[in-house]
């Protein structure tokens, strides 16, 4: 299997190995505003409860903890590292706001922890379903707020002010800004016929949730009844994903592409299928 970015890792593992798998991110932000507004960020990525990597803002280095992680392409590793830094900036902004909201002295050091991720399982039809998603924050070791996946809103812990809950639900938490989708295409053997291939397009990490995806042949959109769609699903960090697939004859893959439109994009993303094989 060729190298894949970490945002796709759980999707690929679940698709290939089946059964249940988990991917979680653990962020810790520490702030000491008495020293030039400096903050410290550390992040761990856990796949099936095994640490994959570690990032620290002390040296700005993201260190692999498993040998196979080193095979991830340099450009994808760099993009993933930049995403961690971006998340760290957002968390720092919220930490400062929370300190003010709590009436804490800005010269003191306080800690914000953010946990997010999901378990996923492969269903009998081959699709991947998210399970037990977590998205919660802790301030100075105490439960602060978490996302309720059933009701689709933020819920504060019993010890916190209801004003905090109202503010987060009005502002949609940390992800108020539009997030650009990452779009990837895959090819694998069809599960129903050995002579056919399944072309899959995955758009992930986008916000807001409205996104248009078309699978096309020579720029002509395929009708919906030929496609299999996951529907728009939450990622566990406030962003969303959408996956669509189509079965084609093994020798008939030329001219297919995935066409994605989103409000965060100035122009559509178009990804043709090539040698993106995952079997």
Entry pTM: 0.59
- In the chain the domains, ranked by start, together with CATH numbers, are 6-171 (3.30.500.10), 182-272 (2.60.40.10)
- pLDDT tens digit sequence for 41-64: 999 999 888 999 999 988 888 999
* Average per-residue pLDDT for the chain: 79
User: Quick one: pLDDT at residue 210?
Assistant: 87
> Which of 118, 123, 126 lies closest to 245, judged by CA?
126
Q: Tell me the backbone φ, ψ of residue 109, rounded to 5 degrees.
A: -100, 130
- pLDDT tens digit sequence for 210-225: 899 999 999 999 999 9
Res 8 pLDDT > 70: no
DSSP state of 207: B
Average pLDDT for 130-144 = 86
Dist CA 174 CA 33 (whole Å)? 21
Integer CA distances (angstroms), 257 to 109, 196, 202, 230, 270, in order: 51, 17, 12, 18, 7
Dist CA 72 CA 195 (whole Å)? 31
> Which of 250, 227, 231 lies closest to 241, judged by CA?
231
User: Quick one: pLDDT at residue 173?
Assistant: 56
- pLDDT tens digit sequence for 55-91: 998 888 899 998 888 877 777 787 778 878 878 877 8
Confidence of residue 2 (pLDDT cuts 50, 70, 90): very low
Pick 278 or 132 by higher pLDDT: 132
Contact 261, 212 (CB under 8 A): yes
Res 279 pLDDT > 80: no
């Amino acid at each position: 299997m060729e190298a894949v970015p970490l945002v796709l890792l759980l999707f690929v593992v679940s698709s290939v190995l089946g059964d249940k798998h988990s991917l979680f991110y653990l962020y810790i932000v520490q702030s000491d505003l008495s020293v030039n507004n400096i903050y410290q960020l550390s992040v761990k990525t856990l796949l099936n409860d095994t640490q994959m990597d570690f990032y620290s803002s002390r040296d700005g280095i993201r260190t692999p903890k498993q040998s196979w992680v080193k095979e991830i392409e340099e450009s994808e590793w760099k993009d993933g590292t930049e995403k961690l830094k971006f998340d760290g900036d957002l968390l720092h902004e919220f930490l400062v706001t929370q300190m003010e909201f709590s009436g804490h002295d800005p010269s003191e050091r306080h800690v914000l922890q953010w946990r997010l991720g999901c378990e996923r399982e492969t269903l009998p039809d081959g699709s991947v379903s998210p399970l037990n998603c977590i998205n919660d924050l802790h301030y100075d070791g105490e439960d602060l707020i978490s996302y309720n996946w059933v009701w689709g809103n933020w819920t504060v812990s019993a010890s916190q002010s209801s004003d905090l809950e109202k503010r987060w639900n009005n502002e949609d938490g940390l992800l108020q800004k539009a997030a650009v989708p990452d779009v990837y295409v895959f090819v694998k053997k069809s599960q129903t016929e050995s002579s056919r291939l399944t072309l899959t397009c995955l758009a992930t990490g986008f916000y807001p949730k409205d996104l248009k995806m078309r699978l096309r042949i020579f720029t002509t959109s395929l009708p919906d009844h030929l496609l299999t769609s996951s529907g728009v699903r939450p990622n566990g960090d406030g962003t969303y994903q959408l996956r669509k697939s189509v079965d084609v004859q093994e020798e008939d893959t030329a001219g297919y592409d995935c066409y994605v439109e989103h409000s965060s994009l100035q122009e559509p993303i178009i990804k043709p299928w090539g040698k993106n094989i995952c079997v």
